[in-house]
């Protein structure tokens, strides 16, 4: 019985993390379109246009929230941002994360770098909880990334999406930021100036 040699794992990639700009929206749209068209990581079924991605970026940054890109040799190879978990005011100390990496850069530590910076910035802004809504309970890479960063599974919404001819779950994960619920929160989360690294 012969065995196939194990494929060599790609080495971690050194990327630069910086705030996204309007010029990055084409690359961001291309990254996201892959996930919309080919995976259940996103529950959208039609890829948004560059104009729509630009509008989403503007809504996030207008709130003072982080929208970041990972850059390798001048190419945007991933992005991450934080948005409100829910719009009602009582949820104002809770944030939801999104992280996407270009398909040909997956497994190169790009998501890890983005998540590290996103968590740090959201903590500095005064948020106390971060929620991940992960499309598809079989999305092992996203589940592993979030677990690596201290998220824990709090539940799943069974068969809440129908895509590619099948029912798909949404897994809810949560991570404490800063003091969590051990102290009273600041008055205005998201309005602080984030310290640059």
Predicted confidence (pLDDT) per residue in 129-178, tens digit: 999 999 999 999 999 999 999 999 999 999 999 999 999 999 999 999 99
In a domain, 11, yes or no: no
- Contact call for residues 178 and 94 (beta carbons, < 8 A): no
In a domain, 189, yes or no: no
In a domain, 140, yes or no: yes
Residues 134-166 as b or e (16 or more Cβ within 10 Å = b): bbbbebeebbebbeebebeeeeeeeeebebeee
DSSP the chain: ---PPPPPPPPP---EEEE--GGGHHHHHHHHHHHHHH-SSS--SSPPPHHHHHHHHHHHHHTT--EEEEEETTEEEEEEEEEES-SSGGGTTEEEEEEEE-GGGTTSSHHHHHHHHHHHHHHHTT--EEEEEEE-TT-HHHHHHHHHTT-EEEEEEEEEEEETTEEEEEEEEEEE-TTTTSSPPPSSTT-SPPPP-
Number of other residues whose CB lies within 10 A of the CB of residue 81: 25
> Where residue 113 sits, what CATH number does that domain have?
3.40.630.30
Q: Which residues contact 59 (CB under 8 A, 6 or more apart)?
A: 83
- Residue 17's nearest CA partner among 80, 84, 65 is 80
Q: Which residues contact 114 (CB under 8 A, 6 or more apart)?
A: 17, 68, 70, 78, 79, 80, 99, 101
In a domain, 185, yes or no: no
| pLDDT at 2 (0 to 100) | 46
In a domain, 133, yes or no: yes
Which range marks the domain in which residue 66 is found? 16-176
| Mean pLDDT computed over 109-134 | 97
Tens-digit pLDDT profile for residues 37-69: 999 999 999 999 999 999 999 999 999 999 999
| pLDDT at 190 (0 to 100) | 74
pTM here? 0.91
Share above pLDDT 90 across residues of the chain, in percent, rounded to a whole number: 87
Mean of the per-residue pLDDT values for the chain? 93
In a domain, 27, yes or no: yes
Q: Which residues contact 46 (CB under 8 A, 6 or more apart)?
A: 36
Domain tally, the chain: 1
In a domain, 193, yes or no: no
At 103, is the pLDDT very low, low, confident or very high (cuts 50, 70, 90)? very high
- Contact call for residues 122 and 104 (beta carbons, < 8 A): no
């Amino acid at each position: 019985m012969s065995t196939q040699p194990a494929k060599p794992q790609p080495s971690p990639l050194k990327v630069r993390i910086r705030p996204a700009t309007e010029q990055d929206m084409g690359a961001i749209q291309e990254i996201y379109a892959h996930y919309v068209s080919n995976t259940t990581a996103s529950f959208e079924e039609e890829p948004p246009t560059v104009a729509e991605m630009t509008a989403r970026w503007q809504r996030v940054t207008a709130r003072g929230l982080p929208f970041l890109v990972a850059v390798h040799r001048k190419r945007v190879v991933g992005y991450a941002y934080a948005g409100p978990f829910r719009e009602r005011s009582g949820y104002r100390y809770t944030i939801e994360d999104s992280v996407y990496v270009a398909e040909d850069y997956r497994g190169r530590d790009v998501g890890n770098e983005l998540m590290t910076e996103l968590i740090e910035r959201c903590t500095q802004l005064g948020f106390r909880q971060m929620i991940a809504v992960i499309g598809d309970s079989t999305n092992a890479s996203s589940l592993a990334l979030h677990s690596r960063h201290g998220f824990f599974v709090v539940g799943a919404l069974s068969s809440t999406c129908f895509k590619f001819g099948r029912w798909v779950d949404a897994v809810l994960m949560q991570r404490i930021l800063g003091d969590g619920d051990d102290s009273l929160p600041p008055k205005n989360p998201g309005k602080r100036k984030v310290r640059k690294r």
